[in-house]
Each structure stands twice: as structure tokens, then as C-alpha cells.
């Protein structure tokens, strides 16, 4: 540092920057002042790559969309997305010099599915109705998946990084929850203001509730970490209370039910109920729904519980209200549009990221609600599964289902073979947290944002890391137990 201060070029740069920054401030241009932060980010990215990734994890809940403040069509979450783009560039440059990834990792089914998804995204971007929109979507997906999943598997080989991942994201989320609850309290915790008081960190209460629900099970898992002292355990209990209260006050019905669903999945894993029984039950339910859809619709139409109620049991009942609940009706409208878009282009779809721009003409008059719009400024298909169906065709949706299936298959089978201990428990709670998101994904989709992508693909990287680790151990054990005469052959 002393050498830097003795260098005359340092003073030349400092004086030049001060003069230029003064000029831009006088001209009401403030972004030049961010140059030092940019230089610091570049230095950290080159020399402290792991530290940069931890900083991104912490910043994810408290990032904000610059579009809300500068206007225009620049939708970018600050500071996470520029940093993720920088990580993507560095990883690509390093990969060109030498292979950074193990062969076993590249051959893992989840990695292969990700690669197939990128290939399909590229193809459907070329054939897209709006190619520029689709290629932007592809780029965003790359900077979410490559740094978080591909680098993440290497990052999480240090088990302390897994614990830090949960802590960093939870602390960031706790800051947002505290801010939101303080804002909400000033309005008497009424439901209407509960839909927007999390701004600017979250766009609305549904995304906020979804991420609160996702982090809640892993937060419970931290309680079982033996290295935690009494003060740390007390802090965890406080955070559990804070996040739990924030989930209730988010007025997000899907988040509440996703936690109930996670509890159901825990019971299935805990009592080792065989998958074939679950599959048989699920198939029976689907067959029943298929043959009873008319009767179900008639019953749902009789549900008159209004959306605007703060009573918990009435709020849950209102989820089945497809007669007067505008939110439910609009969701059905978006799903209907996604289905019609798929019918018109069943194989290649309309292009990644294009749903909001193309769905309006497909709205049926009888499906329109008081919150319907023709300008494409109020969200997308409201489904992690129907969105890809309409934008990437049937292969896009199938790849999504296969990806999710392999994630949970790898996670649960790895959990079952892991030795008992705190990391095994933490892995289980991470799987349960992930399940809340993908259950929520039937009703909403947020994987095009950092808020969802970083925890979802981060947990996926943890699952794959452990899967590879215990597969290697099993192979080594089998090799060591093989008789010498067989080994020599």
C-alpha cells in the first residue's frame, strides 16, 4: 500500500478522477462516481473470486431493479447481475485456457440437462418471434446458471461454504424482512399495503413470500450445527421467529401451502415411503381429476370466499375461489394464454422471454379480469412449467420437468446414503426449501430473477457436489474391497 501511495501515477489518477467526477456531478450525471466501486469489484473478481461469490449471495435479497429508478427498458438487478456477468466472463476466459470442471461433474445427469437446456434455448432464440428479447433471456440464464451452478459445485466442496451460503442469504433476507415488517407496521399490517411494502427489494408480495418460504427450512437446519454456541443458537431462534412472522404477514397463500407441502415431503423421506407408492397415488389423483374435471369446476364455482380477507383459514379457502377472486381468475387467464400459444407453436414455441410481449391477443374475452392488461407489463405466465411450454415448446417444458426430477432424485438418494450428522440434516432442509419453490412454481415463476435463481441453483450445486462425493467414495470402497487377483486382471 505504501508503494502505491509513493507512486506519482496514483495522485494523477486520483486528481483526474476527482475533477471528472465533479464535472459529471455538476451535469447531474452520478454514475461516474461508481467507477471506484467497479475497480474494486474487478480487483476482487481477479484475486478473490470466492469472496466475490459470497458477496453476491449476501446481496441477492437486498438487490434492486435499476429499471424502477432510471426508467426505460433496462431491467437489471444491482449489484448482483453485473457481478454475475463479470463472473461468467472470467469463468469463460479461464475455461478457454484450461478445463475447470471434473469429467464426472460434466457427465452428471443434471449438468447434461443444463447443457441441453442451453442448446434448446439457443435454437428457440434463433426461431423466436422476438430474437433480441430471447437472446437477452439466454444471456441472463447463462450468468445465473454458470457462476452459481457450474462454479458453485467447486465452491461448495468446502463444507463451511455451505453453512456460510445459508447464513449469508438468510441475513440478507432478514434485513429485507425487518425493513418490510417495519414499513408494514406503520400501516397497521393491513393486507392491501402488504402487497407492496417490500419494494424496492421485491416487486410484490408473492415473490417475497416464495423466497421467505424457500429459506425457512434451511434456517431450521442451522439449529443442528454443532459448532454453534449459545449466542449463535439464540440468534438462529430469533431469525426463525422473524422469517416465520414475515411469511405469515406476506399474505402469500402459495408460500403457506408450499411449507405444508414441504412438511409432507419430509414425512415421505423420514419414513422412507417408496417412490412407486407415491407415483401410484399421484397417478390415481391425476386420473380422478381428468375424469371429474367438470364436477370439480362446479364445486370451485360455489366457493365465494373473497380474496380481501385477513383471516387465515378464509385466506386459504379463497385459493379455490375461481368465481370472484381476481388474482385466481387472472392466473387462469395467463395459463389459458400459455396453452393457446403452445397450440399455435407446439415444438419451438414463441421464443424464450417473449410471453409478456405476445400473450395479449390470445386472451379470451370471457377470461379477462379487472387486473388484465394488453400492455404486457404485469408479469408473465405465472408458472415455471407453462412459461417454458409457451416460449420453448413441449421440449422446453419436458426439460424443466426432467431437471427438477433429477435434482430431487439426486438429493434424496444422496441424503439416504450420507452418514448421520449435521451436514446430512442441513442437506435435508435444503432439499425441503427447494421443494417449496418448485411447488410455488405451479402458480408463479421467478427464475428470471436473482432472488430465486441464486438460491435455487445454489442448492442444486450443493446436491450435485454431495452426489458426486459419495459416488466417488462408494467406488473407492468397492475397489478396495475387490480381491487382489481381480484387481490385477
The pLDDT score that the predictor gives to residue 305 is: 44
- The mean per-residue pLDDT over the stretch 457-476 comes to 88
Q: How far is CA 303 from CA 31, 59, 107, 385, 406, in A?
A: 53, 42, 50, 27, 37
Looking up cell 424482512 gives 177
Q: Mean pLDDT over residues 19-33, rounded?
A: 54
| Confidence (pLDDT) at 479 | 57
| Nearest C-alpha neighbor of 395 from the set 138, 144, 150, 113 | 113
Q: What is the mean pLDDT of residues 306-331?
A: 58
Distance between CA atoms of residues 212 and 235, nearest Å: 17
Q: How many Cβ atoms are within 10 Å of 111's Cβ, its own excluded?
A: 19
Provide mean pLDDT across the span 362-372. 80
Q: What is the tens place of the pLDDT at every residue in 179-230?
A: 999 999 999 999 889 999 999 999 999 999 999 999 999 999 999 888 888 9
Mean pLDDT of 32-60: 79
Nearest to residue 390, comparing CAs of 432, 352, 436? 352
Q: With bands split at pLDDT 50, 70 and 90, how would you rate the model's confidence at 303? A: very low
Residue 275 has pLDDT above 50, yes or no: yes
Q: How many CB atoms lie within 10 A of CB 207?
A: 23
Q: Compute the distance between CA of residue 230 and CA of residue 262 in angstroms, rounded to an integer.
A: 28
Mean pLDDT score of the chain: 84
- Number of C-alpha atoms within 13 angstroms, CB side, residue 257? 17
Neighbours of 217 (CB within 10 A): 23
CA distances in angstroms from 46 to 49, 154, 307, listed in the order given: 6, 17, 51
**Quick one: pLDDT at residue 291?**
62
Residue 354 Cα distances to 71, 118, 235, angstroms:
20, 16, 44
Residue 374 CB neighbours (<10 A): 10
Domain spans of the chain, in order of start? 99-281+378-478
Amino acid at each position: 500500500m505504501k508503494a502505491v501511495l509513493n507512486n506519482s501515477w496514483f495522485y494523477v489518477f486520483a486528481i483526474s478522477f476527482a475533477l471528472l467526477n465533479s464535472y459529471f456531478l455538476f451535469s447531474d450525471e452520478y454514475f461516474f462516481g461508481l467507477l471506484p466501486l467497479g475497480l474494486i469489484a474487478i480487483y476482487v473478481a481477479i484475486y478473490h473470486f470466492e469472496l466475490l461469490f459470497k458477496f453476491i449471495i449476501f446481496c441477492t435479497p437486498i438487490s434492486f431493479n435499476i429499471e424502477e429508478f432510471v426508467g426505460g427498458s433496462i431491467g437489471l438487478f444491482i449489484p448482483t447481475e453485473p457481478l454475475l456477468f463479470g463472473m461468467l466472463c472470467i469463468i469463460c476466459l479461464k475455461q478457454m485456457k484450461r478445463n475447470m470442471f471434473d469429467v464426472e461433474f460434466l457427465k452428471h445427469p443434471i449438468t447434461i440437462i443444463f447443457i441441453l437446456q442451453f442448446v434448446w434455448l439457443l435454437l428457440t432464440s434463433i426461431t423466436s418471434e422476438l430474437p433480441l428479447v430471447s437472446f437477452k433471456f439466454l444471456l441472463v440464464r447463462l450468468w445465473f446458471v454458470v457462476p452459481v451452478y457450474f462454479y458453485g459445485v467447486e465452491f461448495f466442496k468446502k463444507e463451511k461454504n455451505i453453512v456460510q451460503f445459508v447464513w449469508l442469504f438468510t441475513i440478507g433476507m432478514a434485513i429485507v424482512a425487518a425493513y418490510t415488517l417495519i414499513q408494514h407496521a406503520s400501516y397497521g399490517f393491513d393486507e392491501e399495503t402488504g402487497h407492496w411494502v417490500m419494494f424496492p427489494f421485491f416487486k410484490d408480495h408473492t415473490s417475497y413470500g416464495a423466497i421467505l418460504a424457500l429459506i425457512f427450512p434451511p434456517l431450521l437446519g442451522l439449529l443442528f450445527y454443532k459448532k454453534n454456541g449459545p449466542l449463535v443458537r439464540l440468534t438462529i431462534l430469533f431469525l426463525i421467529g422473524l422469517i416465520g412472522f414475515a411469511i405469515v404477514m406476506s399474505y402469500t397463500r402459495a408460500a403457506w401451502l408450499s411449507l405444508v407441502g414441504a412438511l409432507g415431503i419430509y414425512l415421505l423421506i423420514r419414513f422412507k415411503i417408496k417412490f412407486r407408492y407415491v407415483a401410484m397415488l399421484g397417478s390415481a389423483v391425476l386420473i380422478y381429476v381428468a375424469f371429474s374435471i367438470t364436477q370439480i369446476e362446479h364445486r370451485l364455482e360455489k366457493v365465494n370466499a373473497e380474496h380481501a380477507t385477513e383471516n387465515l383459514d378464509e385466506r386459504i379457502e379463497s385459493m379455490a375461489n375461481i368465481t370472484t377472486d381476481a388474482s385466481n381468475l387472472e392466473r387462469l387467464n395467463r395459463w389459458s394464454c400459455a396453452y393457446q400459444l403452445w397450440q399455435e407453436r407446439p415444438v419451438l414455441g414463441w421464443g424464450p422471454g417473449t410471453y409478456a410481449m405476445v400473450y395479449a391477443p390470445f386472451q379470451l374475452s370471457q377470461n379477462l379480469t379487472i387486473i388484465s392488461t394488453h400492455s404486457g407489463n404485469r408479469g408473465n405466465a405465472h408458472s415455471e412449467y407453462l412459461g417454458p411450454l409457451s416460449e420453448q415448446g413441449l421440449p422446453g417444458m419436458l426439460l424443466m420437468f426432467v431437471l427438477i426430477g433429477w435434482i430431487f432424485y439426486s438429493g434424496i438418494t444422496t441424503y439416504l446414503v450420507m452418514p448421520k450428522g449435521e451436514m446430512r440434516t442441513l442437506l435435508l432442509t435444503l432439499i425441503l426449501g427447494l421443494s417449496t419453490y418448485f411447488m410455488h412454481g405451479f402458480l408463479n415463476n421467478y427464475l428470471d430473477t436473482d432472488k430465486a435463481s441464486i438460491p435455487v441453483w445454489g442448492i442444486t450445486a450443493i446436491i450435485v457436489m454431495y452426489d458426486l462425493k459419495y459416488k466417488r467414495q462408494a467406488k473407492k470402497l468397492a475397489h478396495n474391497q475387490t480381491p487382489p487377483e481381480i484387481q490385477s486382471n
